[in-house]
Structure 1
Amino acid sequence: MDRTMEIILSRVQKPARYTGGEYNAVVKDRKKVDTRVALCFPDTYEIGMSNLGVRILYGVMNEMPGVWCERVFAPWGDMEEEMRREGISLYGLESGDPIEDFDIIGFSLGYEMAYSNVLNMLDLAGLPLRTEDRDEESPLIIAGGTCAYDPEPLAPFVDVFSLGEGEEVTVELIELFRRGRREGWSRQELLLAAAQIPGLYVPSLYEVTYRPDGTVDQVRPKPGAPELVTKRIVQDFDKAYFPVKTIVPSTEIVHDRVMLEVFRGCIRGCRFCQAGYAYRPVRSRDPKRLVEQGIAACKDSGYQEITLSSLSTSDYRPLEGLCDGLLEWCEPNKVSLSLPSLRADNFSMGLMERVQHVRKSGLTFAPEAGTQRLRDAINKNVTEEDLLNSCRTAFSGGWNAVKLYFMLGLPTETDEDVLGIADLARKVLQTWREHAPDKRRGCRITVSTSCFVPKPHTAFQWEPQVTREEYLRRVKLLRDNMRDRSITYHWHDPDTSFLEAVFARGDRRVADVIETAWRMGAKFDSWSEYFDMDRWLQAFQRCGLSPEFYANRARDREEVLPWSRVSTGVRADFLWHEREMAYQAVITPDCRKQCTGCGANMLLRKGDVCDA
């Protein structure tokens, strides 16, 4: 580390974010490497290092001979200020080299509110923001993650979007890049070749036109571009790469533990949930393999906690056997085991008691809606009795704290549904009063609400978001009817949810707004310290666009959606049918009870079946 960097790090918060050198970080000999990749996460070190996908891709790429992947995180404001003052470009943590000299720069996009940070990181790297302004020597800019399912708001800034799971397609793209360099391809030839790889969307190969009313008229493929780009999935998930030798951070991060991904996909089909549709079909890992991986990862890293990761962990069929296998090693070694993503309809007290011998945590459930009618409309498939039975079991077993998560503004929601949240919270409290063996500690019930955000590739992708004013009216209605001292109510800021809806369903014109807001100072918009709603509204005004047009407007079935050239494998007619069932408050059985024929199974190899 040079003297300038030493001086800078002495002046910033959490300097360990920027030094690298962690245990298990991969450092390679530059002379033996022909392709360098910067894996960028557009948020702080603490957030990015908690992302399992980043750890997986980091390991996959570094296992490739001749390829060196380094991590890059968004510097906090104090560090950015020092870097700009001293003329220090954004650099890879492993080598300290400027990433503008790398071959490929990849962004992991997990949250729309990080878009301004993507631009800020490109600028800190000394690179032109827009693809059209980069030359033949510029790094290839790629992006993936759940936000890539509507790539259009970032389309002018990104060369290639990777749709779906990246373990296999990332390797294919890197090998294509290496081939193109050997054979002297132009940048355009490389992009055209990349578009032929299933799962890769090259936005510059599609021309977008608009109607007089502002809606999209066409997203027209140019010669050589596929009509539709469908996501990639890992076919044999059981044998897919898992980072046993994971990087051990040198400072505290959000999820400082071993994360075991037990399965991908979800059997439930909640109509609001993008992940539930996007990660289909269901594919599981063998419990014996998971036990081996969990123990090996703990031994290598020294972590004292294992968490079982999935969209709905309690839906993993061999869950009890997996927990028993892990606990046989965890208990004598004082390693705790946590089970997030529990559902109220299959909560097991016996299981919770077994896994919490080492450390007892609180319970969290997500009913999402306050009445059965609305839960049926969103296809939550959880009843009030399911929730109260689970709470009764937990309170009888000595638990005295429960967190309940809901959304306000769901399609078809009425004031009766809003008040149903308060009523349900009171029933949970009454359940504690009737069944808790020891009431001296009291009861803590935390109710949290967020504003519903319609997402692409869901049954509600055509729905409007309620206005910010209407959301706050419903918050007040709920707050005024929930005054028991044992119940605490928190609600999410509607401004960030509003912009999330804009970006989630935005078209290519929104890119101008993102760039304008960034030039006005926007960055770290998911952090209250930096977020400025007025700045974003000014940016929309300068670009002649209405954010309400994107967030608060219903779409009809015939409208061309900006993301119409990309697919999760779930058919659009299936999603529309699910929307119609929502307005009738009719549930669709989960995938284990009845295959819904959504189309995702077609992504599997011939002869393979969904694990649901």
Structure 2
Amino acid sequence: MDIISKITSTLYLCISRKHERNNMRKLALRDDILLKIEKPARYIGNEVNSVIKDVSKVEIRFAMCFPDVYEIGMSHLGIQILYDMFNRREDVWCERVYSPWTDLDHIMRSEQIPLFALESQDDIKEFDFLGITIQYEMCYTNILQILELSGLALKAKERGEEGPIVIGGGPCTYNPEPLAPFFDLFYMGEGETVYDELLDVYKDIKQRGGSKKEFLEAAAGIEGIYVPSFYDVSYNDDGTIASFVPNNVHAKAKIKKQAAMDVTAIPYPEAPVVPFIKATQDRVVLEIQRGCIRGCRFCQAGMLYRPTRERDVNVLKEYAYKMLKSTGHEEISLSSLSSSDYSCLQELVAFLIDEFKGKGINISLPSLRIDAFSLDVMSKVQDIRKSSLTFAPEAGSQRMRDVINKGLSQEDIISGAGQAFEGGWSKVKLYFMLGLPTETEEDMKEIAVLADKVARRYYEIPKEERSGKCQITASSSFFIPKPFTPFQWAKMYTNEEYISRAATVKRAFNDQLNRKSLRYHWHDAEVTVLEGVFARGDRRTAAVVEEAYRLGCLYDSWSEHFDNAKWMQAFDNTGVDIAFYNQRERSLEEVFPWDFIDIGVTKEFLIKEWKRAMDGEVTLNCRQKCSGCGAAIWGGGVCVESKNQVS
């Protein structure tokens, strides 16, 4: 059956599904409501490659949640991987649930309709687990929406024995404390490693009629599992953490991140679920490696996902063929923190071009460094006249790029832009950050100067050889210190200061010779301030999240729904001081809320990198020289990049 026939058949099943289920009244009500809301396909399930099982034949039901709208959640690779992995087990049925959009949210509350899973349409409260992936701080109020619409108490201690175990995962769990009161447990690491063990433990305790506490104690003994209720926090008079200690004999003093060292051998979805409506990333995603050899001091992902681990290129070729065939997608994206550093990229891209380019399949190559090889590859897979290139210098001056250890010189940037222009591109996007540690006014102005130099390089090309009008679009976000980075000790600024810095850059753009070819945008400073609080917040900030939710905050990552006034009211109502979390530089001795987590990269290494940043010293990438971060030894062997150079 071809993909069109599959979709047609599936749509028919969706329309007739209420005749095939037991709870006729509930489903009839839902069908009536779906006709009144925007994009009802977000909630009907039965997409191509979704998994339907006989609930009477499974022992564990797992609701996998992404706390954002369907189109965003369906674009997340991690959920697709876990959904596939869990459903390979005969004793587990994993289903999906996303945050209802505001229209359905209103109806569900007024009609008292509980939140339901897409596949079975059953209430979330009937499941054994509610697993929530936490990708972004501004989704925290959506997590509370999920809990409340599911009929669950917001705080874990108030939920008792009924309802699912609520477990969190994802990058934000590397500082789980702002969400600690709302979760039964968190999983630190990559899902392919210990989830099977956790599910087996749960099944055994469930069959024996054991309690939730018995399960949580057993789970606490599994590497990578953190049970917040098993730990007590005390504070110094100045508000910093005095101690963070277990209060249960089953709880570990340190939670060790779990990582799959052989990423070729772990499960990967050959038939990912195909959304009915266009998702944000509407394509096949092929993860080529995990980790990054670069040592950018602001980048949390670059530290969390060490060491670098590559997938075998021949296996990737097989996945590409199977995934495109099973989904009908017309684009394949190679996913990695730094795709250019994948050692077999040239071979893989050549295969994809030869195998699929003539079949209407587009190839997407995000996260490429702009060099001769990357430009040559992109020229083969992109329509140059319609596309733009993206550079991420992050800082305008060389001094600042050395501070953040970006590993890019001005010559690299101008040379790369020149090669792009000569190759036929005329549009370039430049990404920067403002508010970085040690930043001066001159550093800010250099953003505009660098953008102008890129434009000048375009106009050095003879007029008859240019490819249209030059357009350089620069944008800046505001730097947010993240846990487990060398910049976790840095201070942030107020909303007003960020706006002032952006205004300085804007004025500098207006002074440039090629200003008609330049555009400049900056991100929302108010959101940055909130992200900063929750990125490095402790358990006391959970009260702010709950209060903001009670005041009506929801979908805070969406500009049309973000309400800063309500958030400021929440801080006032709870007595939590933004300045304490954002506007002070931490001492090297301070106990952080996340210090109980071991990600492999040592705190000693991060301190060394912080000091090198303050001195403007560059640290070579992992392929050039091992910096002794600890991830290689922690990983149980020698890092694939450093070979035997571990120091």
Task: Please report the TM-score for the alignment, with normalisation by the length of structure 1.
Answer: 0.98
User: Secondary structure at 2:215's aligned position in 1?
Assistant: helix
Matches for 1:22-37 after TM superposition, within 5 Å: 22-37=47-62
For residues 169 and 626 of structure 2, the distance between their equivalents in structure 1, rounded to whole angstroms, comes to: 29
2:488 is aligned, of 447, 458, 461, to 461
For residues 547 and 396 of structure 2, the distance between their equivalents in structure 1, rounded to whole angstroms, comes to: 40
In structure 1, give the amino acid aligned to 2:258: R
The equivalent residue for 2:537 is 506
The equivalent residue for 1:441 is 468
**More deviation in 135-144 or 256-265?**
135-144
1:61 is aligned, of 80, 86, 109, to 86
2:424 is aligned, of 398, 415, 419, to 398
1:562 is aligned, of 579, 586, 593, to 593
The equivalent residue for 1:76 is 101
The equivalent residue for 2:156 is 131
User: Secondary structure at 1:556's aligned position in 2?
Assistant: coil
For residues 132 and 633 of structure 2, the distance between their equivalents in structure 1, rounded to whole angstroms, comes to: 28
1:382 is aligned, of 396, 408, 416, to 408
User: How far has the Cα of 1:534 moved from its partner?
Assistant: 1.2
The equivalent residue for 2:499 is 472
Q: Is the 8 A contact 2:385 2:425 kept in 1?
A: no
Structure 1 residues 539 and 408 mapped into 2: Cα distance closer, same or farther (>3 Å)?
same
Asked whether 1:294 is paired with 2:284, we answer no
Q: Is the 8 A contact 1:374 1:417 kept in 2?
A: yes
User: How far has the Cα of 1:381 moved from its partner?
Assistant: 0.4
User: Secondary structure at 1:490's aligned position in 2?
Assistant: strand
Matches for 1:419-430 after TM superposition, within 5 Å: 419-430=445-456
Matches for 1:164-243 after TM superposition, within 5 Å: 164-222=189-247, 223-243=249-269
The equivalent residue for 2:13 is none
Asked whether 1:251 is paired with 2:277, we answer yes
For residues 4 and 139 of structure 1, the distance between their equivalents in structure 2, rounded to whole angstroms, comes to: 24
User: Secondary structure at 1:429's aligned position in 2?
Assistant: helix
For residues 128 and 348 of structure 2, the distance between their equivalents in structure 1, rounded to whole angstroms, comes to: 42
2:139 is aligned, of 91, 110, 114, to 114
The equivalent residue for 2:22 is none
User: How far has the Cα of 1:37 moved from its partner?
Assistant: 0.4
User: How far has the Cα of 1:3 moved from its partner?
Assistant: 2.8
Task: Please report the TM-score for the alignment, with normalisation by the length of structure 2.
Answer: 0.93
In structure 2, give the amino acid aligned to 1:231: K
Q: Is the 8 A contact 1:263 1:283 kept in 2?
A: yes
In structure 1, give the amino acid aligned to 2:521: H
Cα distance per residue 1:60-81 (max 9 Å; x no partner): 1111111000000001100111
Q: Is the 8 A contact 2:385 2:424 kept in 1?
A: no
The equivalent residue for 2:551 is 520
User: How far has the Cα of 1:257 moved from its partner?
Assistant: 0.3
**More deviation in 6-15 or 126-135?**
6-15
Q: Is the 8 A contact 1:164 1:232 kept in 2?
A: yes
Structure 1 residues 532 and 98 mapped into 2: Cα distance closer, same or farther (>3 Å)?
same
In structure 2, give the amino acid aligned to 1:87: Q
Cα distance per residue 1:315-370 (max 9 Å; x no partner): 11111111001111111211011111012356532212222269963211100000
**More deviation in 135-144 or 113-122?**
135-144
User: How far has the Cα of 1:291 moved from its partner?
Assistant: 1.4
The equivalent residue for 2:9 is none
Moved over 6 A (4+): none
Q: Is the 8 A contact 2:481 2:532 kept in 1?
A: yes
User: How far has the Cα of 1:7 moved from its partner?
Assistant: 2.1
The equivalent residue for 2:168 is 143
For residues 405 and 358 of structure 1, the distance between their equivalents in structure 2, rounded to whole angstroms, comes to: 20
Asked whether 1:272 is paired with 2:311, we answer no
For residues 357 and 471 of structure 1, the distance between their equivalents in structure 2, rounded to whole angstroms, comes to: 37
User: How far has the Cα of 1:598 moved from its partner?
Assistant: 0.6
**More deviation in 518-527 or 360-369?**
360-369
In structure 2, give the amino acid aligned to 1:429: A
For residues 626 and 461 of structure 2, the distance between their equivalents in structure 1, rounded to whole angstroms, comes to: 39
For residues 356 and 476 of structure 1, the distance between their equivalents in structure 2, rounded to whole angstroms, comes to: 35
User: How far has the Cα of 1:611 moved from its partner?
Assistant: 7.5
The equivalent residue for 2:76 is 51
Structure 1 residues 607 and 535 mapped into 2: Cα distance closer, same or farther (>3 Å)?
closer
In structure 2, give the amino acid aligned to 1:364: T
For residues 115 and 600 of structure 1, the distance between their equivalents in structure 2, rounded to whole angstroms, comes to: 30
For residues 391 and 128 of structure 2, the distance between their equivalents in structure 1, rounded to whole angstroms, comes to: 45
1:408 is aligned, of 434, 441, 445, to 434
User: Secondary structure at 1:407's aligned position in 2?
Assistant: strand
- Over the residues paired in the alignment, what is the CA RMSD in angstroms? 1.5
User: Secondary structure at 2:264's aligned position in 1?
Assistant: helix
User: How far has the Cα of 1:522 moved from its partner?
Assistant: 1.1
The equivalent residue for 2:336 is 310
User: Secondary structure at 2:233's aligned position in 1?
Assistant: strand
User: How far has the Cα of 1:440 moved from its partner?
Assistant: 6.5
Q: Is the 8 A contact 1:229 1:566 kept in 2?
A: yes
Matches for 1:580-591 after TM superposition, within 5 Å: 580-591=611-622
For residues 598 and 216 of structure 2, the distance between their equivalents in structure 1, rounded to whole angstroms, comes to: 20
In structure 2, give the amino acid aligned to 1:298: L
**More deviation in 588-597 or 349-358?**
349-358
Asked whether 1:41 is paired with 2:72, we answer no
Cα distance per residue 1:583-605 (max 9 Å; x no partner): 11101000001111111113323
For residues 456 and 384 of structure 2, the distance between their equivalents in structure 1, rounded to whole angstroms, comes to: 29
For residues 459 and 434 of structure 2, the distance between their equivalents in structure 1, rounded to whole angstroms, comes to: 28
For residues 414 and 110 of structure 2, the distance between their equivalents in structure 1, rounded to whole angstroms, comes to: 58
Q: Is the 8 A contact 1:50 1:253 kept in 2?
A: yes
The equivalent residue for 2:457 is 431
Structure 1 residues 347 and 552 mapped into 2: Cα distance closer, same or farther (>3 Å)?
farther
Cα distance per residue 1:254-273 (max 9 Å; x no partner): 00001111100000010000
Cα distance per residue 1:379-424 (max 9 Å; x no partner): 0001111111111111001101110000000001111111110000
For residues 181 and 275 of structure 1, the distance between their equivalents in structure 2, rounded to whole angstroms, comes to: 36
For residues 325 and 286 of structure 1, the distance between their equivalents in structure 2, rounded to whole angstroms, comes to: 14
User: Secondary structure at 2:519's aligned position in 1?
Assistant: strand
Number of paired residues?
A: 612
For residues 283 and 606 of structure 1, the distance between their equivalents in structure 2, rounded to whole angstroms, comes to: 12
User: How far has the Cα of 1:180 moved from its partner?
Assistant: 1.3
User: Secondary structure at 2:168's aligned position in 1?
Assistant: strand
In structure 2, give the amino acid aligned to 1:583: M
For residues 137 and 195 of structure 2, the distance between their equivalents in structure 1, rounded to whole angstroms, comes to: 22
**More deviation in 326-335 or 358-367?**
358-367
Q: Is the 8 A contact 1:162 1:169 kept in 2?
A: no
User: How far has the Cα of 1:608 moved from its partner?
Assistant: 7.2
User: Secondary structure at 1:289's aligned position in 2?
Assistant: helix
Structure 1 residues 538 and 347 mapped into 2: Cα distance closer, same or farther (>3 Å)?
farther
User: Secondary structure at 1:445's aligned position in 2?
Assistant: strand
Query: Alignment identity in percent?
Result: 48
Q: Is the 8 A contact 1:338 1:355 kept in 2?
A: yes
Matches for 1:96-115 after TM superposition, within 5 Å: 96-115=121-140
Structure 2 unaligned segments of length 5 or more: list them. 1-17, 19-26
For residues 568 and 555 of structure 1, the distance between their equivalents in structure 2, rounded to whole angstroms, comes to: 20
Asked whether 1:330 is paired with 2:356, we answer yes
Q: Is the 8 A contact 1:284 1:611 kept in 2?
A: no
Asked whether 1:361 is paired with 2:387, we answer yes
